[in-house]
Structure 1
Amino acid sequence: MRQEVLDRYDRDSAGTLVIDVSAARIEELYNDFDKSAPYIRRDLDENLAEYLSDSARELCPAPFIIRFTFDYPPNEAGVRRIESSLNTYFLYLADIELHNILQLFRRSFILFSIGLCILVTSVWLNLHLENERSIIADVFAEGLTIAAWVSIWEALAIVMIEWFPHRRNRQLYRRLAQASLAFRSAADRPSDTEMFQPHP
């Protein structure tokens, strides 16, 4: 299955896998939500960003480049704009994932601290009520113990499980931000090449 996925992608002359993007003009790569903003300030088109992310995720960990094919190739300033846009946008997404990771660890610390405090309280109650046990006291003490372990387990689950997807996404976005780019004219494109084409 892995080789079948890789075979769907073209390779450059050096054998590096290629994520292909096709557009008529450079403007099609950007979000058209704010028509008054200059293109250099606009975000990448959402469908394009999703396509690049999904493709890079499929190819991981193999090295890849992103190749843009334009009907009207951009000038040098346009090429620099695309390079800057991709780098800035995916580094921004990587920063968001880092923020999410830090939030998860903060939540884990809080849950662990709460669980530890409840557990200490439960142990203290069990020690001091040992000679004066009642059904209500037993239920309360047992409830505290259960609540403590639930809170501690939730904290451990965050550390062991929940943060890994965010870490993978951050690594993926950083790879996309640092990816090599190639540019060509539509006239140089083979007719059977499959690639992403933004909607006009």
Structure 2
Amino acid sequence: MKKEILERYERAESGEILIDVSTEKVEYLYNDFDKRAHFLKKDLNQDLVDYIIDCVTEIEKEKFIIQFSLEKETDDESIFRVKNSINKFFVYMQELESRNMNDMVRTSMILFSIGLVLATFSVVISKSQLVETSVVAAVIAEGLTVAAWVSLWESLATFLIKWRPHKKKTLLYKSIANSKIIFHFSGKKN
């Protein structure tokens, strides 16, 4: 299946996969919600961002180059700004995803601590004379045991399983931010 996916892409002479983005002019790579703002102050077009992410996800660990095929030739300053925009946007996304992952790990550690405290209270109450003489104390001890296990399980599930997609996205955004970007023009001058 992977071979079939990779065959959909052209390759550069050096062997990297070409992720080709075709458009008429540079301005179309940016959101058009603010007509008066210079295109360099605009956000990248969300369709462009989604397309790049989908392509890089699809080709997995293959080396790639992002190629912008423009109908109209553009100046070096615009080319630099597009490269800079791609880099800065995906560095920002990488940092955002890292922050989300750190928050998740922090939450996992808090849940783990709460689970340990609840488990300790459960053991202390269970070993006391109260449990043998009071139904309420026995119910509280069992409730604390259940709450401790839920807290510990959620902590461990987050720590062992849920962080992986965030790590994967962080690496994906890093590879896009550090990717080689080239431009191809069909020949028309501005």
TM-score greater than 0.5 by the shorter chain? yes
Task: Say if 2:140 is the partner of 1:140.
Answer: yes
**Deviation for aligned residue 1:131:** 6.7
Q: Distance in 1 between matches of 2:174 and 2:67?
A: 18
Equivalences for residues 30-45 of structure 1 within 5 A: 30-45=30-45
Q: Distance in 1 between matches of 2:8 and 2:129?
A: 69
Question: What TM-score does the superposition give when structure 1 sets the normalisation length?
Answer: 0.90
Aligned match of 1:51: 51
Q: Distance in 2 between matches of 1:148 and 1:84?
A: 49
Q: Distance in 2 between matches of 1:141 and 1:133?
A: 13
Determine helix, strand or coil for the equivalent of 1:81. helix
**Deviation for aligned residue 1:40:** 1.4
1:82–1:131 Cα change, 3 Å: closer
| Per-residue deviation, residues 54-73 of structure 1 (Å, max 9, x unmatched) | 10011110100001111112
Q: Distance in 2 between matches of 1:131 and 1:163?
A: 39
**Deviation for aligned residue 1:187:** 4.7
Q: Distance in 2 between matches of 1:106 and 1:5?
A: 38
Report if the CA contact (8 A) 2:73-2:187 is conserved. Answer: no
**Which residue identity is paired with 2:149?**
W
Task: Say if 2:124 is the partner of 1:127.
Answer: no
Q: Distance in 1 between matches of 2:160 and 2:131?
A: 40
Q: Distance in 2 between matches of 1:141 and 1:63?
A: 56
User: What runs of 5+ residues in structure 1 fail to find an aligned partner?
Assistant: 189-200
Q: Distance in 1 between matches of 2:37 and 2:118?
A: 53
Determine helix, strand or coil for the equivalent of 1:74. coil
**Which residue identity is paired with 2:25?**
R
Q: RCO higher in 1 or 2 (8 Å CA, sep ≥ 6)?
A: 1
Q: Distance in 2 between matches of 1:160 and 1:42?
A: 39
Aligned match of 2:112: 112
Q: Distance in 2 between matches of 1:67 and 1:187?
A: 16
1:146–1:131 Cα change, 3 Å: closer
Aligned match of 1:20: 20
**Deviation for aligned residue 1:185:** 1.2
Equivalences for residues 44-83 of structure 1 within 5 A: 44-83=44-83
Percent identity over paired residues: 39
1:56–1:134 Cα change, 3 Å: same
Q: How many residues align?
A: 188
Report if the CA contact (8 A) 2:17-2:65 is conserved. Answer: yes
1:130–1:15 Cα change, 3 Å: same
User: What runs of 5+ residues in structure 2 fail to find an aligned partner?
Assistant: none
Q: Distance in 2 between matches of 1:143 and 1:133?
A: 17
**Deviation for aligned residue 1:139:** 1.6
**Deviation for aligned residue 1:109:** 1.1
Aligned match of 1:166: 166
1:82–1:138 Cα change, 3 Å: same
Determine helix, strand or coil for the equivalent of 2:65. strand
| Per-residue deviation, residues 83-126 of structure 1 (Å, max 9, x unmatched) | 10000000010011001001101110111111111111111111
Q: Distance in 2 between matches of 1:119 and 1:131?
A: 15
**Deviation for aligned residue 1:130:** 5.9
Q: Distance in 2 between matches of 1:5 and 1:133?
A: 68
Determine helix, strand or coil for the equivalent of 2:72. coil
